[in-house]
Amino acid sequence: MGWCMPGRVVYFNGEFVSEQEARVSIFDSALMFGDMAFEMTRTYGQKPFRLQEHLDRLYASLRLLEIDCGISQQEMEQLTLRTLEMNLATELEDVDWQIMHDISRGPLPIYETAFPDGLQPTVSINCWPLITHMGGFSGNYDEGVHLFLPSQLAVPAQLVDPKAKTRSRLHYQLAVLQGARAGERKWPLMMDPDGYLAEGPGWNVFLVKDGVLHTPEPRNILRGVSRGMVLDLASQLGIEARESNLGRYEALQADELFCTATTYGMVHAASFEGQQVEDGQAGPVFQAILEAWIDNVGVDFVQQAHDYKDRLPAWCEAERGQATSLAPQ
């Protein structure tokens, strides 16, 4: 069960409503087919991270899916900023936020008689405090994660182009389940059908060898915004970066391995396929890029995660109490 604080609002189909009121129809194509595009970014210092790049990708995904949401990209940017602004006062000033965009084709035409006002795309923007995401993640920064190759493969681009960010991601979930069975902090790094490293469920991977940064070529992967951030920072730092086909062999020979995603930024891998990566600690290239990232956004998100961990139990208790008070009697 999800918990929601009074006061948090969602942009939902042209209106600002409470979280409890933002309900998607059981006839929606998103539920029926995963037929939707989405984006997720976060704030640093309550300012959205690379919002324009996330919206560029959102609208590129919508074009691929042939969904016209009826809102221009510029209007979507303003609605996003407004949604965030309306939610900021519900938390302390040091709380950062997840910002989620979900856009589906709307209800399927076969059910149009249930919608007397006509069929329209379903459009929502919601904001959620990052205390839950980052507080629960904090230990990974200290100890690193353990990458392994699951049996689940990435979906090849000729079937569903992974550059579009959609909810048709069953292969992600199956890989996540394999990771959960493998043990604590075991992260599944999927390979593509050609036997090369692709991506994890919602994250990109980098390896370092002899001071050179390597990452899978963007053929069978989602081109993560945070992946782009790392490549930009590497260029600024004078670190050579290459996009190429990488296999299990290259990962086993790596001096460093790390993962990137918008929520947590970057986290090092302590091992790959059961073999420790060097001494299991974050390496110098990782550390240099991490420091540059923190300097760029003005927030030490690693320390932020540790702070949120300490506050998480009380925050969850308050959320549950508020949700109980709002429940129908």
Residue 210 has pLDDT above 70, yes or no: yes
CA within 13 Å, CB half, 75: 7
Contacts of 320 (CB under 8 A, 6+ apart): 3
Task: Report yes or no: 150 and 201 within 8 Å, Cβ to Cβ.
Answer: no
Distance CA 260, CA 251 (A): 16
Residue 144 has pLDDT above 60, yes or no: yes
Query: Model pTM greater than 0.85?
Result: yes
Only one residue has tokens 């976060």, namely 42
Distance CA 197, CA 192 (A): 6
Mean pLDDT, rounded, of the chain: 94
On the question of a common fold for 9-129 and 137-303, the answer reads no
Counting every residue written for the chain, the total comes to 329
DSSP state, residue 222: -
As a whole-number percent, the residues of the chain with pLDDT over 70 amount to 96
- CATH value of 137-303 in 3.65.10.10, 3.20.20.100, 3.30.70.660, 3.20.10.10: 3.20.10.10
Distance CA 224, CA 202 (A): 8
Q: Where are the domains of the chain?
A: 9-129, 137-303
CATH number of the structural domain 9-129:
3.30.470.10
